[in-house]
Amino acid sequence: MKYPNSINKKENKQINYGHRGMSLEYDINESNTFYLLNDIAVIHKKPTPITIVDVDYPSRSEAVITKAYFKIASTTDYNGVYKGKYIDFEAKETKNIKGFPIINIHKHQIEHLILVSKHGGISFIIVRFTALNQTYLLTCEKLKYFLDHFTKTSIPIDYFKKNSYLIKDKFNPRVDYLSIIDSIYLKGEKNEKNNQKY
């Protein structure tokens, strides 16, 4: 969906919120639920990693964590199985309009994505430029290419436009990243369960 440059930001924002839900995470979770309920794929968000310090047991059946810290994730947020393939990705939003600051993804998460790809999994990142209302899927290969060849701390929007895939707005699934995965990696593979383009 493209807006003329003259449109005021407030209106744009209102349209985004009404149409697309709260956030990229929300949209991806909804999409994963759609994939699950329609028997297309089994992909889940991992729980937030924490270090538990203290736990109280006010009653026999109930445990309450009273002190814990957030840990830095050693892997990515999402993984699962699609047509027998291992799927692994990280999803990030940025308000930036010129590019995606690489610092938003931890170094060991990038290493994890590269390792997954090396072991035959399909790994990628999904980046939403909120101010542009554009969501891109960048494969691990293209991410690695950028990191190997450029010293920039931010991946320019132009790199996304030329080397990644725009995920078009849909009602359901909201962020249909698996149709992109189909077109990149699984051309010619037929889904035996139905004739939908998945």
Among 1, 7, 22, 64, binds a copy of itself (CB under 8 A): 64
Q: Contact between 57 and a copy of itself (CB under 8 A)?
A: no
C-alpha to C-alpha distance for 155 and 151, rounded to whole angstroms = 10
Binders of a copy of itself: how many residues, by CB under 8 A?
Answer: 40
Kindly tell me which of 63 and 97 has the beta carbon lying closer to a copy of itself.
63
- 87 or 155: CB nearest a copy of itself: 87
Contact 69, 57 (CB under 8 A): no
Nearer to a copy of itself, 62 or 148 (CB): 62
Nearer to a copy of itself, 43 or 167 (CB): 43
> Which residue lies nearer to a copy of itself by CB, 80 or 101?
80
Bridge partners, residue 45, by sequence: 78
Query: How distant is the alpha carbon of residue 130 from its chain centre?
Result: 14
Kindly tell me which residue out of 83, 128, 142, 174 binds a copy of itself, with binding defined by CB under 8 A.
Answer: 83
Q: Is 84 in the site for a copy of itself (CB under 8 A)?
A: yes
74 part of the interface to a copy of itself, by CB under 8 A: yes
Q: Which residues pair with 165 in a beta bridge?
A: 137
Binding mask 113-142 for a copy of itself (x = CB under 8 A): --xx-xxxx---------------------
Examine residue 52 and tell whether it contacts a copy of itself (CB under 8 A).
Answer: yes
| Distance between CA atoms of residues 136 and 164, nearest Å | 6
Helix (H) or strand (E) holding 122: strand 122-129
| Positions 27 through 46 that interact with a copy of itself (CB under 8 A) | 36, 39, 41-42, 44, 46
Interface with a copy of itself, residue 68, by CB under 8 A: yes
Residues 6+ apart with CB under 8 A from 105: 90, 92, 125
Contact between 18 and a copy of itself by CB under 8 A: the answer reads: no
Structure token pair of residue 130:
């909120």
* Burial class, 138, CB count within 10 angstroms (exposed 0-12 / middle 13-18 / buried 19+): buried
Q: Report, in angstroms and rounded to the nearest whole number, the Rg of the chain calculated over CA atoms.
A: 19
